[in-house]
C-alpha cells in the first residue's frame, strides 16, 4: 500500500452576520433563506469536502471560506486532505494539464499510471470508510479524489464530484484525460462544473450542475486594508522599498488580529520602488498561467513605453506538495530573468511568497493586489481564475486572457480588458492603456467590484450547493 494520509483541516466558524456589510438587501434575504433550508436538510449529516491540499490555490481558499460559513450556520461541515507519494501527484498533474487541453510533461496515461492512481485511491478509500457514514454528503474535488467516488457510494453517502478545471473547446489531450477519469467519476450521484461548456462528454447530463466559484470578502486575502496598512505589509514582506511604516495588521478568519511577520523571497533581492506604477500577476508557478509570457510581453511592449515595474508572485514552491512541476516553472522564469539586461532586470521582480501561515500569505497577496496599478492574469488555460475575482473586488483594473471562466467575470471594456492569451502585443497595449488613463482604470475597477458583489460572493455559492444537496437527498429518498 502507498503511504496515504487523510488529514482533517481545522476551520473556524466564520460568522454570517458580517456579510450584511457587503450584501445587497435581496442577497441578505437569500442568505437567510439558504440557512433555513439547510439546517433541517443536513441536521443529521456530515458534509465532507475532500481535496489534495490545504493551502496554495483557489480550491483551498474557497473551501476554507465555504466550510467556515457552513459551520457558523450550524451545518456539520468538515474538510479532509488526501496526501500521497510523489508518483500519484505526477499522474494527477498530468491529468490537470490535459484537462486544460495542454500536453504537460508529455508522459503517458496508460496501465502503469492507472495502477498508481487506483492504488492510492484504494488506500484512501479504506481510511475514509471509518469516517463517512450512510446519508452523509461528500464533495470530492478535482482529479485527485475521483477514485474515491465508487467506494463512498457503496457506503451510502451522497457523492458529488466537483471539477474546478475545464476547457471550452475540448481537444484530444482533454479527451484522453476524460477517458482516464470517466470510470472513476461516473459512480458519483452528481457532477459540478464551473461553466456549462466544461461538462464532459460521456456523463449523464441530468446529473450535471453548474456552480461558479466565489470569494469571501472578509478573508485575509480580500478584506479591506487602508493604504497605510497595505504599505506596511509590503514593507514587512520585503517586496516594497522604503523606510519604516505602520503596523502590518490584518484580521484572521476567527476575528482575532493577525500580523505579517514573514518575508518573501525576491529573486535577485531588488524591491519595488514605492513611487513607480506596478503591474502584477499572482498565480501558482504553472505553465498554463504563462508567467514566462507575461514577462516577455511586459519586457517587449510595456517596459519601453512606461516606467512601470512588473511583479510575478507565486507560492514558495517548496511548500506546495501537490504540484510537482512548480519548481521547474519557477526555475525557468528565474533563468529567463537572469538573461535580461541589467537595466531591464531591475524592473522585473520574481517573488516567492511565504506559505507557513496561509492567512499571512493571503494578507500579502491582498496588499500586493491593492498596491498594484494593474493586475494581470494572462493564462493560456483557466478553469475560472479567482485571482481575477480578487483583484476586481479590490477595484484594481484587470487585464486577462480571453479564456475559460475569466470570460464570465470580465466584460471587455467595462469590468476589465480581455486579450487573446498568446498575443503579447495586445497584452502590452492593454496594460499600457490602463497605465496611461487612470480615469478609465478607476471606472473599470469600480464596475468590476460591483460585478463581483452581484455574482461572485459566497452567498450565491452556498445557495447553489444547498439547492444541489436538497435535490440529491430528496431525489434519492424518493428513489430517483
Same domain, 24 and 143: yes
Pairwise CA distance, residues 426 & 429, whole Å: 5
Q: What is the mean pLDDT of the chain?
A: 94
Same domain, 35 and 89: yes
Element spanning 80, H or E = strand 76-83
Is 209 among the domain residues?
yes
Is 298 among the domain residues?
yes
For residue 367, the model assigns a pLDDT of 98
Same domain, 88 and 128: yes
- Mean local confidence (pLDDT), 423-447: 98
- Mean local confidence (pLDDT), 32-56: 94
Q: Which three cell numbers stand for residue 439?
A: 480615469
For residue 256, the model assigns a pLDDT of 92
Strand partners, 82: 6
Same domain, 73 and 191: yes
Is 62 among the domain residues?
yes
Pairwise CA distance, residues 30 & 10, whole Å: 28
- Reference 61, options 324, 322, 387, 314; nearest CA is 387
- Structure letter (DSSP) for residue 190: E
- Mean local confidence (pLDDT), 172-188: 97
- Mean local confidence (pLDDT), 256-266: 96
Question: Is the pLDDT assigned to residue 322 strictly greater than 70?
Answer: no
Asked if 379 contacts 290 with a C-beta cutoff of 8 angstroms, the reply is yes
Question: Is the pLDDT assigned to residue 476 strictly greater than 90?
Answer: no
Q: Which three cell numbers stand for residue 12?
A: 473556524
- Parallel, antiparallel, or unpaired: how do β-strands 348-353 and 265-266 relate? antiparallel
CA distances from 297 to 279, 290, 381, 431 (A): 12, 11, 17, 10
Q: How many domains does the chain have?
A: 2
Is 221 among the domain residues?
no
Asked if 41 contacts 465 with a C-beta cutoff of 8 angstroms, the reply is no
Element spanning 279, H or E = strand 278-282
Question: Is the pLDDT assigned to residue 363 strictly greater than 60?
Answer: yes
Same domain, 467 and 425: no
Is 331 among the domain residues?
yes
- Mean local confidence (pLDDT), 72-99: 95
- Mean local confidence (pLDDT), 7-33: 93
- Reference 449, options 457, 458, 438; nearest CA is 457
Which of the residue ranges 24-33, 240-249, 270-279, 293-302 would you say has the lowest mean pLDDT? 240-249
Domain containing 35 — which CATH number? 3.40.50.2000
Pairwise CA distance, residues 84 & 79, whole Å: 17
For residue 362, the model assigns a pLDDT of 95
Is 63 among the domain residues?
yes
Element spanning 8, H or E = strand 5-8
Helices (H), 202-353: 227-236, 291-297, 326-339, 342-345
% of the chain residues with pLDDT over 70: 98
Going across the sheet that includes 76-83, the strands are: 5-8, 76-83, 46-51, 137-141, 158-162, 190-193, 208-210
Same domain, 57 and 177: yes
Same domain, 185 and 234: no
pLDDT confidence tier of residue 479, bands split at 50, 70 and 90: low
Same domain, 151 and 60: yes
- The range of the structural domain enclosing residue 145 comes to 5-214+457-477
pLDDT confidence tier of residue 129, bands split at 50, 70 and 90: very high
Pairwise CA distance, residues 360 & 55, whole Å: 12
- Parallel, antiparallel, or unpaired: how do β-strands 249-251 and 208-210 relate? unpaired
For residue 298, the model assigns a pLDDT of 98
Q: Which three cell numbers stand for residue 374?
A: 494593474
Pairwise CA distance, residues 373 & 362, whole Å: 19
- Mean local confidence (pLDDT), 176-180: 97
Same domain, 152 and 300: no
- Mean local confidence (pLDDT), 97-118: 94
Same domain, 171 and 257: no
3-state class of 365 per DSSP? helix
Asked if 403 contacts 381 with a C-beta cutoff of 8 angstroms, the reply is yes
Is 222 among the domain residues?
no
Q: 50-60: per-residue pLDDT in tens?
A: 999 887 778 99
CA distances from 312 to 15, 213, 293, 394 (A): 34, 24, 11, 19
- Reference 27, options 369, 393, 462; nearest CA is 462
For 191, phi then psi, to 5°, come to -125, 135
Same domain, 92 and 234: no
For residue 2, the model assigns a pLDDT of 73
- Mean local confidence (pLDDT), 318-328: 74
Asked if 240 contacts 311 with a C-beta cutoff of 8 angstroms, the reply is no
For residue 245, the model assigns a pLDDT of 76
Question: Is the pLDDT assigned to residue 480 strictly greater than 60?
Answer: no
Q: 303-320: per-residue pLDDT in tens?
A: 999 999 999 999 988 766
Same domain, 159 and 251: no
For residue 246, the model assigns a pLDDT of 85
Helices and strands in the chain, H and E counts = 16, 16
For residue 18, the model assigns a pLDDT of 87
Is 219 among the domain residues?
no
Question: Is the pLDDT assigned to residue 94 strictly greater than 70?
Answer: yes
Question: Is the pLDDT assigned to residue 321 strictly greater than 80?
Answer: no
Asked if 314 contacts 295 with a C-beta cutoff of 8 angstroms, the reply is no
Amino acid at each position: 500500500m502507498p503511504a496515504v494520509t487523510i488529514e482533517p483541516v481545522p476551520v473556524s466558524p466564520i460568522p454570517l452576520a458580517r456579510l450584511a456589510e457587503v450584501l445587497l438587501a435581496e442577497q441578505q434575504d437569500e442568505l437567510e433563506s439558504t440557512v433555513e433550508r439547510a439546517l433541517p436538510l443536513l441536521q443529521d449529516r456530515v458534509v465532507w469536502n475532500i481535496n489534495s491540499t490545504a493551502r496554495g490555490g483557489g480550491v483551498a481558499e474557497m473551501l476554507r471560506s465555504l466550510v467556515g460559513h457552513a459551520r457558523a450556520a450550524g451545518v456539520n461541515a468538515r474538510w479532509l486532505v488526501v496526501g500521497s507519494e510523489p508518483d500519484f501527484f505526477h499522474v494527477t498533474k498530468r491529468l490537470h494539464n490535459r484537462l486544460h487541453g495542454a500536453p504537460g510533461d508529455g508522459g503517458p496515461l496508460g496501465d502503469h499510471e492507472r495502477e498508481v492512481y487506483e492504488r492510492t485511491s484504494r488506500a484512501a478509500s479504506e481510511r475514509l470508510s471509518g469516517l463517512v457514514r450512510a446519508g452523509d454528503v461528500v464533495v470530492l474535488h478535482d482529479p485527485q479524489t475521483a477514485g474515491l467516488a465508487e467506494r463512498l457510494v457503496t457506503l451510502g453517502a451522497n457523492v458529488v464530484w466537483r471539477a474546478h478545471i475545464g476547457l471550452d473547446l475540448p481537444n484530444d489531450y482533454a479527451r484522453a484525460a476524460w477517458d482516464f477519469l470517466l470510470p472513476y467519476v461516473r459512480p458519483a450521484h452528481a457532477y459540478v462544473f464551473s461553466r456549462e461548456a466544461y461538462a464532459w462528454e460521456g456523463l449523464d447530463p441530468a446529473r450535471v450542475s453548474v456552480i461558479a466559484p466565489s470569494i469571501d470578502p472578509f478573508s485575509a486575502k480580500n478584506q479591506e486594508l487602508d493604504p497605510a496598512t497595505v504599505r506596511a505589509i509590503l514593507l514587512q514582506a520585503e517586496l516594497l522599498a522604503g523606510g519604516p511604516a505602520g503596523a502590518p495588521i490584518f484580521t484572521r478568519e476567527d476575528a482575532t488580529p493577525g500580523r505579517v511577520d514573514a518575508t518573501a523571497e525576491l529573486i535577485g533581492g531588488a524591491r519595488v520602488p514605492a513611487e513607480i506604477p506596478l503591474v502584477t500577476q499572482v498565480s501558482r508557478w504553472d505553465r498554463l498561467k504563462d508567467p514566462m509570457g507575461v514577462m516577455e510581453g511586459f519586457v517587449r511592449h510595456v517596459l519601453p513605453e512606461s516606467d512601470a515595474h512588473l511583479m510575478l508572485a507565486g507560492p514558495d514552491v517548496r511548500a506546495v506538495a501537490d504540484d510537482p512541476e512548480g519548481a521547474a516553472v519557477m526555475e525557468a522564469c528565474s533563468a529567463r530573468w537572469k538573461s535580461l539586461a541589467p537595466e531591464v532586470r531591475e524592473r522585473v521582480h520574481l517573488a516567492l511568497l511565504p506559505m507557513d501561515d496561509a492567512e499571512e500569505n493571503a494578507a500579502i497577496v491582498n496588499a500586493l493586489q491593492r498596491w498594484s496599478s494593474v493586475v494581470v492574469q494572462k493564462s493560456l488555460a483557466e478553469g475560472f481564475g479567482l485571482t481575477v475575482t480578487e483583484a476586481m473586488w479590490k477595484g484594481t483594473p484587470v487585464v486577462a486572457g480571453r479564456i475559460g471562466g475569466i470570460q464570465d467575470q470580465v466584460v471587455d471594456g467595462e469590468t476589465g480588458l480581455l486579450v487573446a492569451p498568446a498575443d503579447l502585443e495586445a497584452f502590452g497595449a492593454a496594460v499600457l492603456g490602463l497605465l496611461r488613463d487612470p480615469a478609465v482604470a478607476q471606472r473599470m475597477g469600480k464596475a468590476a467590484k460591483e460585478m463581483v458583489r452581484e455574482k461572485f460572493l459566497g452567498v450565491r455559492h452556498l445557495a447553489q450547493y444547498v439547492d444541489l444537496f436538497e435535490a440529491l437527498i430528496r431525489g434519492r429518498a424518493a428513489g430517483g
